[in-house]
A and B are shown apart, each in its own frame.
Chain A
Amino acid sequence: MSEREVLELLRENARYSTDDIARMTGLDEQEVEAAIEELEATGVVRGYQAVVDWDKLEDERVRAEVELNVHLDRETGYGDIAERLARFPQVTALRLVSGDYDFDMEVEGDSIREVSQFISEKVAPVPEITQTVTHYVMTSYKENGIELGDGEDDERLSFSP
């Protein structure tokens, strides 16, 4: 149960210190550390990353959402295709989804050219893939639950009853 609580806090902010997590949950520091170790060891927590607003950076970062349709046969399942695609470092997320297409793939690169080439040269030729539809991300408004707008100022009075 303590793992659940710690997980919730890490999901909110993975940079909370062990001390602060302990203070917020009433656990002691050792318990928090043990919970984090357990979460990592069992693979529940796979990593920690920054949530980036690319529009705030000079360098271009091109991202695309790609819809993939695949054709399965006796020898090849979704897992086989997924494994092959997921190995490319350009692929940042890959999910099997319900609906009109099979895979929802997120791709990142330094330029549109680079991303397009990747799709046409590495993804489309995979024999089981029957169709790709690429959507370039134009603006992002929310990432990982965090709104990327300028936020709202705290307009509250400094004292209120």
Chain B
Amino acid sequence: MTFELADRVQTVPPSGIRRFFEIAEERDDVISLGVGEPDFATPWAARDAAIASLEQGKTSYTANRGKRELREAIADYVADRFELGYDPDEEIIVTAGASEAVDLAFRAFVDPGDTVAIAQPSYISYEPGVIFAGGEVLSVPTKQEDDFRLTVDALEDAGADEADMLVLCYPNNPTGAIMTKADLEPIADFAREHDLMVLSDEIYAELTYDGNEHTSIASLEGMRERTIVFNGFSKAHAMTGLRLGYALGPAEAIGAMNKIHQYTMLSAPTTAQHAALEALESCENDVREMVNQYDRRRQFVLSRFREIGMDVFEAKGAFYCFPEVPEGFTAEEFAEGVLREEGVAVVPGDVFGEGGEGHLRISYATGLDDLRQALARIEAFVDEHA
């Protein structure tokens, strides 16, 4: 028989990165700057706690919303770091990665026909998530001249005042842009004025540089009641493979997400919850040290792009920067060329939606030796072709 695929599945195009995977397979000397996850292993204390929990046979389900102790630790952590107040019983849900939390939110709050505005370029899962939930995507492109911050002008130009929901991701994947409190205020005003619900993916919140501290839009006046915050352990605590994240929001909203979660996931991975609890309790220094390393690499990579003569805005968050390709190239052509000829894997910015054209996502979640080599190869490619 042939499978009749559901329309909403067919509507979503295959991932733009697939083709590059295949080219990368052809060479064995590829250095990848295309990786969206830390190169560090999970801090040992967290791994050790996971191992200990296995030794003690702690392998059953947890409460749907996650272990109570972990929710308490999360509540303390977000209060301490981001001035956010959430009740561990009613307003926090622990999920299998922030990915699950994002999906739960779309399914819990988007009805067929609802419009979801997404500030782009952005992490690639939001669009499919909206479509799977039956919603319509409205792209809100951000620009290099604004350091890829979202502005009210951009929202108005895109017609986001008509939307039902707004998705933000700062610090941003793929650009490395951040939004300060002052940058967020007008966006919050806009959301309140036009009655938009806000989904704020803050998974890179710990990774900010140059003395910038992350501000959560949910901490601004009148925003808590209309915002769901996503965060998790994948990035700051280098725990991608353990699959653990969480969502914060008003009780009613988290309750709705939990309704889906309890039938589709039951509970987030138990072993990972033990690791996460330890991560929050004792791994602050490990996080600081990783941030310190990322910052050096960030400065190194930005300096090298400038030396090479590629325009790059000063990314201040996550572990990405977003240089412009030299004239005469599309992002896709440059990415394919530099992969085929020099064996450096980068992701063309178009993959991340509107506003990404003509740019490359460069991940510096890679050791300095590899970064040095990769940048030398990019330089050789530019010298030869541009």
Q: Which residues on A are within 8 Å of B, measured CB to CB?
A: 9, 20, 22-26, 152, 154, 156-161
Q: Which residues on B are within 8 Å of A, measured CB to CB?
A: 17, 20-21, 24, 30, 32, 34-37, 39, 41, 123-125, 173, 296-297, 299-300, 303-304, 345, 347, 368, 372
In contact, B41 and A20 (Cβ under 8 angstroms) = no
Contact residue among B35, B125, B297, B368 (Cβ-Cβ distance under 8 Å from A156): B35
Q: Chain A nearest CB: distance from B54 CB in Å?
A: 20
Bound-state Cα–Cα, A128 to B302, Å = 59
A20-B372, A24-B297 are known contacts. Are A159 and B24 too (CB-CB below 8 A)?
yes
Bound-state Cα–Cα, A160 to B39, Å = 12
Q: Chain B nearest CB: distance from A137 CB in Å?
A: 24
User: Which A residues touch B124, using CB under 8 A?
Assistant: 161
In contact, A159 and B32 (Cβ under 8 angstroms) = yes
In contact, A9 and B296 (Cβ under 8 angstroms) = yes
Bound-state Cα–Cα, A9 to B292, Å = 11
In contact, B296 and A25 (Cβ under 8 angstroms) = yes
User: Which A residues touch B39, using CB under 8 A?
Assistant: 154, 156
20 pairs across A/B with beta carbons < 8 Å?
Answer: A9-B296, A20-B368, A22-B303, A24-B296, A24-B299, A26-B299, A154-B39, A156-B35, A156-B39, A157-B21, A157-B35, A158-B21, A158-B34, A158-B35, A159-B17, A159-B21, A159-B24, A159-B347, A160-B37, A161-B17
Contact residue among B30, B41, B173, B297 (Cβ-Cβ distance under 8 Å from A158): B30
In contact, A159 and B35 (Cβ under 8 angstroms) = yes
In contact, B372 and A159 (Cβ under 8 angstroms) = no
User: Which B residues touch A23, using CB under 8 A?
Assistant: 299-300, 303-304
User: Which B residues touch A26, using CB under 8 A?
Assistant: 299
Name which residue of chain A comes closest to B30, CB basis.
A158
User: Which A residues touch B304, using CB under 8 A?
Assistant: 23
In contact, A159 and B345 (Cβ under 8 angstroms) = yes
